[in-house]
Structure formats: structure tokens, C-alpha cells
């Protein structure tokens, strides 16, 4: 059975303006690979209602899981929850279960649960909450879309809460071989290996050495670890040090 598929939607002007370097995509990509869920596409869109709704609908229709990050805080630019509700034609309002979580949290910290903070309890009908052990305001899953915060520590914690509830597949095993030759020298033999083993994915990533010459890291990935290892050995024999 093929592995389940996934896409990610990163929501936020701060990434597109270059102010912030995304960290959540890199984190999620690694975690999903370990879990045997194939991340096939990532989109980054701005805090724009039309753009968010269109992207969610396209990705939710094309992949088994969609993970979103960003736009679920208390400020005016936090519009993700309302957009997800609109994308699935669901009502959204302050929900009692989410409100109770916030009340408890802010009572403990002695902070006022004002109108702005209460916006974080706006959850679409039929959504299931995702626990947030860092700052309490929950994420949620609606249909196949998992809605999480953009702050990296909170995003990570929500992914940890969510992941055990998802069906994974066979984790990808990968091995890397460093070859002290440019990609142009290894492309022929590597292409032949890729054709011989279509069940493996082979990538080649050039790097420049201190002397200015190029080397290549060849990465071979697959669900059959023994086969990955065998092919790496074979390649290593073709390009002795």
C-alpha cells in the first residue's frame, strides 16, 4: 500500500516579505518522513482570505492530509480559523470547549481573557481540538486539515500532539554517499542506477570544496533499508575514494 500523502500550507505575510525565515516547513518535513507520510507539496500564502481559502480547498482535495501553520492568534491579521470554516462551509464561533481551556490557562497566569484573546476560542463546527501544551490556545482538525500555530515552539508541540492520531506508512530510509566528483561525472552511472531501481528515489546535491572543485552528495531513499544500503555500496564501488 502506498504511504499516505500530505501537503502543508504556511500562512503569513512575514515569510513572503522576507522578515522571517520559515522553520515549520523544515520541521514538519522531517517529522512526516519519519512517520511514513509523504509530504508532496508546500504552499506559502499571505494573510489574504481568498488566497487561503483557495489553497486549502485545492490541497485538501488533492492530498490525504493538509497541515497549516500560522494565523490563529488574537490579532486582526489572524484569519486562518475563519478561512478554514469558510473553505468547508462550516459555521464558526467561540466554542465552549476551547473557551474553557483559555479560561483555565488565563486564570492560572492572572491574565485577562479579553475579547481579543477570546478570538482564539473561535473553532469551526465539527472540528476536533489539537492540544497546545505550550500556550494552551488549541489548534484543530477539520476534515483532513490540521490547523496549527505559526510560532515554531507551539507548532512543534501541536505536531507532537497530533501525530499519534494519524495513520502513517512505511518510514523512508535514506543513506548519503559523499563522492569527490562533480555531478557531471556521476550523472551517467547514477541515472543508470535510478533506471534499474525505480522503487528507490535518488538525488544528487552538489557542493563546492575549499579548493573550488565540486563534489556531490548522493542521497538514496526508499522503504527497503537493505536495498538502499546495497545500492549505496554498489555506487561506492563505482567511485572509489
Site residues (CB under 8 A) for a second copy? 10, 12-22, 25-33, 39-47, 51, 73-77, 111-112, 114-117, 119, 135, 151, 153, 172, 174, 182-188, 190-191, 194-195, 201-206, 208, 214, 219, 221
Which residue's entry shows cell 483555565? 104
**Whole-angstrom distance, CA of residue 124 vs CA of residue 59:** 19
Q: Provide the 3-class DSSP secondary structure of residue 14.
A: helix
**Cβ closer to a second copy: 19 or 241?**
19
We find the least distance from the C-beta atom of residue 142 to a second copy, in angstroms, to be: 22
By residue count, the chain amounts to 241
**Rounded to the nearest whole angstrom, what is the least distance from the CB of residue 135 to a second copy in the complex?**
8
Report yes or no: 167 and 4 within 8 Å, Cβ to Cβ.
Answer: yes
Residues 18 and 15: their CA atoms lie apart, in Å, by: 5
Minimum gap (Å) between residue 88 Cβ and a second copy:
21
Identify the H or E element spanning 25: helix 24-35
To the nearest whole angstrom, how small is the minimum distance from the Cβ of residue 16 to a second copy? 5
Cβ distance to a second copy smaller for residue 201 or 236: 201
Task: Give the residue with the Cβ less far from a second copy, 50 or 164.
Answer: 50
Grid cell for residue 182: 562533480
Minimum distance of a second copy from residue 154's CB (angstroms): 9
Which of 128/224 has CB closer to a second copy?
224
Q: Which is closer to a second copy, CB of 126 or CB of 208?
A: 208
CA trace torsion 25, 152, 67, 119 (10° rounding):
-150
Nearest-10 Cα torsion for 58, 24, 30, 82 = -30
Amino acid at each position: 500500500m502506498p504511504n499516505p500523502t500530505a501537503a502543508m500550507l504556511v500562512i503569513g505575510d512575514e515569510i513572503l516579505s522576507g522578515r522571517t525565515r520559515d522553520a515549520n516547513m523544515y520541521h514538519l518535513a522531517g517529522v512526516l518522513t519519519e512517520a511514513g507520510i509523504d509530504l508532496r507539496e508546500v504552499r506559502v500564502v499571505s494573510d489574504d482570505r481568498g488566497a487561503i481559502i483557495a489553497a486549502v480547498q485545492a490541497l485538501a482535495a488533492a492530498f490525504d492530509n493538509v497541515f497549516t501553520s500560522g494565523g490563529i492568534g488574537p490579532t486582526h491579521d489572524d484569519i486562518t480559523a475563519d478561512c478554514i470554516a469558510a473553505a468547508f462551509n462550516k459555521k464558526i464561533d467561540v466554542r465552549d470547549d476551547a473557551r474553557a481551556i483559555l479560561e483555565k490557562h488565563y486564570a492560572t497566569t492572572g491574565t485577562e481573557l479579553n475579547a481579543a484573546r477570546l478570538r482564539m476560542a473561535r473553532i469551526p463546527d465539527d472540528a476536533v481540538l489539537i492540544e497546545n501544551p505550550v500556550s494552551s490556545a488549541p489548534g484543530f482538525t477539520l476534515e483532513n486539515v490540521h490547523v496549527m500555530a505559526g510560532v515554531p515552539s507551539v507548532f512543534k508541540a501541536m505536531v507532537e500532539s497530533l501525530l499519534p492520531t494519524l495513520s502513517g506508512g512505511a518510514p523512508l530510509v535514506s543513506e548519503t554517499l559523499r563522492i569527490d566528483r562533480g555531478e557531471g561525472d556521476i550523472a551517467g552511472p547514477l541515472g543508470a542506477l535510478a533506471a534499474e531501481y525505480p522503487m528507490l528515489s535518488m538525488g544528487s546535491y552538489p557542493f563546492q570544496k575549499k579548493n573550488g572543485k565540486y563534489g556531490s552528495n548522493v542521497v538514496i531513499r526508499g522503504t527497503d533499508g537493505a536495498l538502499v544500503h546495497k545500492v549505496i555500496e554498489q555506487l561506492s564501488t563505482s567511485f572509489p575514494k
